[in-house]
Amino acid sequence: MSDHEAESLMEKISEKVHDLKDDSSSSSDSDDDNKISAMKSKVFRLFGREKPLHNVFGSGKPADLLLWKDKKVSGGILGGVTIIWFLFEVLEYHLLTLVCHSLILTLAILFLWSNASTFIKKSPPKIPEVAIPEKPLMEIVSSLRIEINQGLAAIRHIASGKDLKKFLSVIAGFWFVSIISNCCNFLTLVYILLVLLFSVPVTYDKYEDKIDPLAEKAWIEIKKQYAVLDVKVLSKIPRSMKELKEKKKV
């Protein structure tokens, strides 16, 4: 074998070895990526979500408000709601009284400013023209109508006696709400819900890596307790009155 043939043979062998190394490294990289994605998919997320919390809330302005992306706007809304609650609950203002006093104060300031501007040689206040746009109002009314119709359809289905379990769960839910309403009035309940909306999501978004493992343990325990309840109680409840009559006949 000549020197030229030997050199070409060695070059071919080195190319083969290099290709094998590249294939093995690329396959190992792809395996690592697959393992990482599989591990991410196996991580427990609260409510079984797979998307980021911002996408769960719609990725729009409501999500930005609840997750405090704009701290000034979110803080302003929460502060305004707190002031309203303080006026009605602590100072015991009535709605009509508050509206009338606010209008009196606003009109008096604007009226005096408009008339005094000629004497103090300053421009009068620019009062904006406020009008309710038709299109957003109709969209809100339409979406509200759809939700109300769905609620009425659900109530009709429950009242028809086709699902006894759902009937009992709804009755228990209404009973729980009635107990809460005895502890606080409607305005305080709405204020508590708003405070929770503006505090719980942003707290979870910040500490989700610590909250999710705890939530996973709690969810496993809840599933165990529900399985026991289902075997001992729920499975013995007939799904409808027809099924209850058939069991009585048997």
Using alpha carbons, select from 196, 195, 205 the residue that is nearest to residue 67: 205
The helix or strand, by DSSP H or E, that contains position 63, with its residue range, turns out to be: helix 61-66
Between 218 and 6, residue with greater pLDDT: 218
pTM here? 0.57
Specify the residue for token string 């038709």: 134
Please check the confidence at residue 31 and state whether its pLDDT lies above 70: no
Residue that has been written with the tokens 């302005």 in this structure: 61
- The span from the CA of 222 to the CA of 175, in Å, is 22
Q: Are 163 and 157 in contact (CB under 8 A)?
A: yes
Q: How confident is residue 148, by pLDDT bands cut at 50, 70 and 90?
A: very high
Q: What is the mean pLDDT of the chain?
A: 76
pLDDT band (50, 70, 90) for residue 202: confident
